[in-house]
Structures are given as structure tokens and as C-alpha cells.
Structure 1
Amino acid sequence: MDRKTRMTVLLEEALNPSMLVIRDDSARHQHHAHMRSVQENSRGPAQVGETHYAVEIVSDKFDEMRALARHRLVNELLAPEFEQGLHALSLTLKGTKDV
């Protein structure tokens, strides 16, 4: 299962979002030599990529949460992905009352 699919399953189960968009922006960062070497060392040359994502979520779970708490929650949910090579995550998190 690729990273986007794993993140989708995890976020859908935890947050039951009314909207979930996950965009892989890794190709925009392939030129970073440091990123290539870190990825190859941690996951092997066949696994280069899947490092930079933009995630947009609308969920009623966020309705009574401040922005920082929303970000902490999503980062905690995705902690295993960071341990497996996820490098950057851009988050847009809204409650249903924010839309």
C-alpha cells in the first residue's frame, strides 16, 4: 500500500471527514539532493518519493478545537509515516462550522 492510501485510510477512520484531499507534492522536491540521499539511506533507492504532501480536511471532530490542536492531532495520527520517510506535510484543517 502506498503512503497516500495509508494516510487516507488512517485519516478517514480517525476523523470521519466530510472532505479529505491528499496531494503528493514530492515531485516538486526531487531536486533536493539531501532529500534523495536521506530517502535512499532510510528506505532504499526504489522508495525515493512520497515525502511531501498537502492535506486538506474538513471534519466535525475539529469543530471545538483550535488550529494548533488540530495540527497536533493530525501530526500524531501520521507519526508512523514520519518515521518511515515522510518529510513535509502542509495542512489545511477545518471544522464543519468553519466552512
Structure 2
Amino acid sequence: MSVAEIIRKKLEAALSPSLLEIVDESDRHKGHAGHRPGVETHFRITVISAAFAGKPRVARQRMVTAALAEEMGNPVHALSMRTLTPEEAAAETA
């Protein structure tokens, strides 16, 4: 199973997102710290989940990193994230 698939499986189980986008940006980081050729190490994710309601940005990010605790650091070197409630996401598109 790829790292992206593991991320998807764990975030779906932990947060029941209405939208989950995972972009592997590992190839964009060649020559940077943490890059390992042929290994998924750098990701950008967008998570829209009702589980984030009433929580500040840092708490939301902690929820994501807690769900991915085993992957953080190895193999995931960098994780950029957007964490929104369904209402926040709807307001962005309105």
C-alpha cells in the first residue's frame, strides 16, 4: 500500500471527511532535506470534516497528525494541510 493510500485510510477512519484531497509533492522536493528518491515523503492535503467544528486551526492540525502519528517523520517528512468544516468550505466557494 502506498503512503498516500495509508494516509487516506487513516484520515477517513479518524475524521470521516466529506472531502479528502491528497497530493504527493515528493518530486518537487528533490535535493531538499527529507527527500528520498522513490519514496513518498512530502504531501499536501485538504480535509473537510464536521469533526473540526468549533476547533481552532492548531487543534485541527493536531487531530490530523495524531491520526498519522506512525507515518510522521518516517516516511512522511513534510505535511502541508488545509483543515475546514463543511460550512467553511461552502463559504469559500460561495
TM-score using structure 1 length = 0.81
Q: Equivalent of 2:63, from 55, 59, 73?
A: 73
Aligned positions of 1:17-28 closer than 5 A: 17-28=17-28
Identity %: 34
The number of residues matched between the two structures is 89
Kindly name which structure, 1 or 2, has the bigger radius of gyration based on alpha carbons. 1
Q: Per-residue deviation at 1:30?
A: 1.7
Question: Is 1:62–1:96's contact at 8 Å kept on the other side of the alignment?
Answer: no
Equivalent position SS for 1:81: coil
Q: Equivalent of 2:76, from 60, 79, 86?
A: 86
**RMSD between aligned residues:** 1.5
Aligned structure 1 segments of 4 or more residues deviating by more than 6 angstroms: none
Equivalent position SS for 1:90: strand
Aligned positions of 1:1-99 closer than 5 A: 1-32=1-32, 34-36=33-35, 39=36, 48-99=38-89
TM-score using structure 2 length = 0.85
Gaps of 5+ in 1: 40-46
Q: Per-residue deviation at 1:84?
A: 2.5
